[in-house]
C-alpha cells in the first residue's frame, strides 16, 4: 500500500473501537471530504488524510480496506476526466510497465529486508525533494533526461510498492519534477496510482478483506465522488505557484505521516 496514495498496514495488533458515535462519523466524513478535495487538486492526498483519522475510531485494517475502492474510483474518475491531456504527459506507459515489473520483483525479492531502512530512505527522499523545490523552484527534469531515467524510476517505485507498500511519494515527486501542465500532471499520477491501487484491490478481495465491509466502502464512495468536482474547480482557480505548493504540501504531509507512523 502506498502512502500519499495508500496507507500502511503491518498486520500487527489492531486498535478496535467497540462503537462509533455520530460525532466520530462526522469527523471521518469531513476527513474523507478534505482528502478528496486535496486529491482532485493535486492528484494525491485522499488516503494519507482520511485513513489516519479514520483509524482513530476503527482498526487500521478496516480503514485501509474501506478507503481502497473509493480511492481507485477517484483515480479512475480523475484520469478519465483528464484523458484529453494524454499527449501532454511524458513517459507514462514506461513508468506504468516498469512499476508493475518492479512491484512483482519487490514482492518476491525484498520480503526479507527490514522495512524501516527503506521507509527512512523514502522520508529522506521526500524532504530532500521539498528542500530542493524551495531552493530551486524552477528546477525541472527535461524530456531527454526523463526518458532515460523513467525505467529505473518506475522500477524503484514499483519495487518499494512491492516490498513495503509505499510508492506514492516517489511517483508524486518524480512527476512533479517534470513540471507538466496541470491536466497532464493529474492524468499521470492518477493513472499510475490507479494501476497500483487496482492491484492492491485485487489482493484485498482475494484475501477476503471486504467481508462485512462492503456497505462502509460503498458509503465512503459518496463523499469522495461528491467532493471531486469541488476540488477540480478549486484547482482551476489556483495559480501555477499555488498548484506547485499544494503538491509539495501533500508530499510533506506524506513524509510527516510516514515518520510519525514509523517512529512515534
Average pLDDT over the chain reads 85
Please report the pLDDT score of residue 133 as a whole number.
93
Q: How far apart are CA 196 and CA 75, in angstroms?
A: 11
Give the residue from 262, 245, 207, 177 showing the smallest Cα distance to 38: 245
pLDDT tens-place string over residues 166-190: 788 899 999 999 999 999 999 999 9
18-47: average pLDDT: 81
Confidence of residue 11 (pLDDT cuts 50, 70, 90): very low
Answer yes or no: is pLDDT of 10 > 80: no
pTM, entire model: 0.84
**Per-residue confidence band for 17, with pLDDT thresholds at 50, 70 and 90:** very low
At residue 6, the pLDDT reads 60
Q: What is the pLDDT of residue 21?
A: 67
pLDDT digits (tens, 9 = 90+) for 185-240: 999 999 999 988 888 788 888 888 888 889 888 988 999 999 999 999 999 999 99
Percent of the chain scoring above 70 in pLDDT: 91
Residue 5 confidence (pLDDT) above 70: no
Provide CB contacts within 8 A for 23, sequence distance 6+. Answer: none
Q: How far apart are CA 134 and CA 132, in angstroms?
A: 5
Amino acid at each position: 500500500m502506498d502512502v500519499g496514495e495508500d496507507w500502511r498496514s503491518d498486520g500487527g495488533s489492531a486498535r478496535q473501537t467497540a462503537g462509533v458515535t455520530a460525532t466520530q462519523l462526522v469527523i471521518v466524513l469531513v476527513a474523507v471530504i478534505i482528502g478528496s478535495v486535496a486529491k482532485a487538486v493535486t492528484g494525491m492526498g485522499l488516503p494519507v488524510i482520511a485513513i489516519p483519522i479514520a483509524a482513530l475510531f476503527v482498526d487500521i485494517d478496516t480503514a485501509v480496506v474501506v478507503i481502497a475502492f473509493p480511492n481507485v474510483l477517484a483515480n479512475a474518475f480523475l484520469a478519465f476526466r483528464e484523458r484529453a491531456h494524454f499527449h501532454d504527459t511524458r513517459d507514462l506507459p514506461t513508468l506504468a510497465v516498469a512499476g508493475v515489473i518492479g512491484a512483482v520483483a519487490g514482492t518476491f525479492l525484498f520480503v526479507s529486508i527490514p522495512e524501516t531502512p527503506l521507509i527512512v530512505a523514502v522520508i529522506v527522499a521526500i524532504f530532500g525533494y521539498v528542500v530542493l523545490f524551495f531552493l530551486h523552484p524552477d528546477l525541472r527534469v527535461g524530456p531527454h533526461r526523463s526518458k532515460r531515467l523513467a525505467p529505473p524510476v518506475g522500477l524503484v517505485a514499483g519495487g518499494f510498492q512491492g516490498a513495503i507498500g509505499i510508492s506514492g511519494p516517489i511517483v508524486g515527486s518524480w512527476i512533479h519534477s517534470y513540471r507538466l501542465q496541470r491536466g497532464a500532471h493529474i492524468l499521470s499520477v492518477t493513472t499510475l496510482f490507479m494501476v497500483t491501487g487496482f492491484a492492491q484491490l485485487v489482493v484485498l478481495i482475494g484475501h477476503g478483506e471486504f467481508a462485512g465491509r462492503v456497505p462502509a466502502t460503498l458509503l465512503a464512495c459518496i463523499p469522495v465522488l461528491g467532493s471531486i468536482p469541488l476540488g477540480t474547480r478549486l484547482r482551476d482557480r489556483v495559480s501555477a505557484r499555488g498548484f506547485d505548493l499544494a503538491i509539495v504540501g501533500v508530499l510533506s504531509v506524506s513524509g510527516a505521516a510516514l515518520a510519525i507512523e514509523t517512529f512515534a
